[in-house]
């Protein structure tokens, strides 16, 4: 073969290879890569006065409280925690695909004396929703079957109705609510539950949500299921002992050192879009949609410089 045809063949091969290389899709960053590249300003730390530590035998459950949506309930919870109300009480219910609930086991037993609630209020108003005006709200781009608009408010999954100027928190996995009786205003904040199953959105605006678990939800979701009605434990030996206190009651060195991605940040917007349209190689068809309760809420340990 003469040098000319060989040179032509090499040139053609290089051109073809370049063309194929140009057609290769750009590498899509993973969620972890997006978070690793985020600026420090896109993260926030927890307010110790708005953080409840629920201690179970397996470890610490960290709950961020939501006073913007449930101010009176949160105030009562803070009082109860400061006065050690939950110390010595238990997780009394674990219902499969639903909730884990903690409080006074004698709460529904009229024949027994309930644990005194100290200086906490014995009755609270229903705080199912509030006026939307003035409430921070980062709207998701997708429709929702439970509300005209959904998104995040100060880190919490929330919903909004512009027509009625109302906003409320949504029952997503890990959200914490205050149990009540039939009357809307029959809660005192002593009996709390965390969503440990498929998001029961039908409870939205029917019960007061007071916050969400930001770390340790697995410690509640793996608890043995109760065999009684609604997952209540029938044998007191099944009760899971607890204590609870505010982070501000704990020495700073013993607090859980974590930070949360701000839901009003550019990084969060990028994370949401990456989950709405999965472009990594395994996915063959991007969904183009994400449900409110499927949006991840990134939390990471605070790295202390040496």
DSSP states of 272-300 as a string?
HHHHHS--STT-SS------GGGS---EE
How much is the pLDDT for 107? 80
How much is the pLDDT for 111? 66
- Mean pLDDT over 14-38 rounds to 71
How much is the pLDDT for 110? 66
- Mean pLDDT over 24-47 rounds to 90
User: What confidence tens digit (pLDDT) does each residue in 47-82 have?
Assistant: 999 999 999 999 999 999 999 999 999 999 999 999
The answer to whether 76 and 164 are in contact (CB under 8 A) is no
Q: Does 1 score more than 80 pLDDT?
A: no
User: What confidence tens digit (pLDDT) does each residue in 85-143 have?
Assistant: 999 999 999 999 999 999 999 886 666 788 999 999 999 999 999 999 999 999 999 99
The answer to whether 246 and 52 are in contact (CB under 8 A) is yes
Please report the DSSP string for 163-189 in residue order.
TTTEEEE---TTEEEE---SSTT---S
Cα gap 269→261, rounded to integer Å: 11
How much is the pLDDT for 112? 77
How much is the pLDDT for 229? 96
User: What confidence tens digit (pLDDT) does each residue in 155-204 have?
Assistant: 999 999 999 999 999 999 999 999 999 999 999 999 999 999 999 999 99
For the chain, the C-alpha Rg in angstroms (whole number) is 25
Residue 251: partners with Cβ closer than 8 Å, 6 or more residues away: none
Q: Counting Cβ atoms within 10 Å, is residue 282 exposed (0-12), middle (13-18) or buried (19+)?
A: exposed
Q: Does 27 score more than 70 pLDDT?
A: yes
- Provide the sign of the torsion angle of the four alpha carbons 75, 78, 82, 87, taken in this order: positive
Cα gap 286→305, rounded to integer Å: 40
- Backbone angles phi and psi of 299, in degrees to 5: -130, 140
Q: Does 15 score more than 90 pLDDT?
A: no
How much is the pLDDT for 106? 87
Six-digit token pair at 201?
Answer: 């959105």
Q: Does 12 score more than 70 pLDDT?
A: no
User: What confidence tens digit (pLDDT) does each residue in 232-274 have?
Assistant: 999 999 999 999 999 999 999 999 999 999 999 999 999 999 9
State the maximum Cα–Cα separation within the chain, in Å, rounded to a whole number.
105
Cα gap 246→62, rounded to integer Å: 10
Q: Does 9 score more than 50 pLDDT?
A: no
Q: Does 18 score more than 70 pLDDT?
A: no
- Mean pLDDT over 10-37 rounds to 66
Please report the DSSP string for the chain in residue order.
--HHHHHHHHHHHHHHHHHHHHHSPPPPPPHHHHHHTS-GGGEEEPPGGGEEEEEETTEEEEEEE-TTT-HHHHHHHHHHHHTTTTTT-EEEEE-TTSEEEEE-TTTT-TTSPPPP-TTS-S-----S-EE-TT---EE-SS--SS-SEEEEETTEEEEEETTTTEEEE---TTEEEE---SSTT---S-SEEEE-SS--GGGTTTSEEEEEEEE-HHHHHTSPPPSSGGGB-SSGGG-EE-EEEEGGGS-GGGS--EEEE-TTSHHHHHHHHHHHS--STT-SS------GGGS---EEEPPPP-
User: What confidence tens digit (pLDDT) does each residue in 204-230 have?
Assistant: 999 999 999 999 999 999 999 999 999
């Amino acid at each position: 073969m003469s040098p000319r045809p060989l040179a032509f063949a090499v040139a053609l091969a290089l051109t073809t290879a370049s063309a194929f290389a140009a057609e290769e899709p750009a590498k899509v960053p993973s969620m972890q890569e997006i978070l690793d590249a985020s600026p420090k300003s896109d993260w926030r730390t927890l307010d110790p006065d708005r953080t409840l530590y629920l201690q179970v035998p397996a470890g610490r459950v960290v709950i961020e409280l939501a006073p913007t949506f449930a101010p009176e309930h949160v105030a009562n919870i803070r009082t109860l925690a400061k006065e050690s109300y939950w110390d010595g009480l238990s997780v009394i219910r674990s219902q499969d695909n639903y909730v884990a609930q903690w409080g006074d086991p004698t709460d529904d037993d009229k024949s027994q004396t309930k644990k005194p609630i100290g200086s906490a209020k014995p009755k609270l108003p229903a705080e199912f929703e509030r006026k939307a005006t003035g409430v921070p709200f980062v709207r998701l781009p997708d429709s929702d079957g439970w509300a005209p608009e959904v998104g995040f408010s100060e880190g919490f999954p929330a919903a909004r109705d512009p027509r009625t100027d109302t906003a409320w928190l949504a029952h997503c996995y890990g959200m914490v609510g205050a149990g009540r009786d039939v009357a809307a205003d029959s809660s005192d904040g002593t009996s709390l539950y965390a969503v440990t199953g498929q998001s029961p959105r039908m409870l939205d605006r029917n019960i007061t949500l007071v916050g969400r678990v930001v770390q340790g939800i697995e410690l509640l979701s793996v608890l043995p299921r109760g065999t009684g009605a609604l997952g209540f434990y029938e044998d007191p030996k099944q009760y899971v002992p607890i204590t609870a206190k505010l982070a501000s009651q704990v020495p700073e060195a013993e607090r859980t050192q974590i930070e949360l991605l701000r839901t009003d940040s550019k990084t969060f917007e990028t994370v949401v879009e990456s989950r709405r349209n999965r472009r990594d190689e395994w996915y063959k068809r991007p969904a183009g949609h994400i449900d409110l309760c499927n949006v991840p809420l990134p939390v990471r340990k605070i790295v202390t410089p040496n």
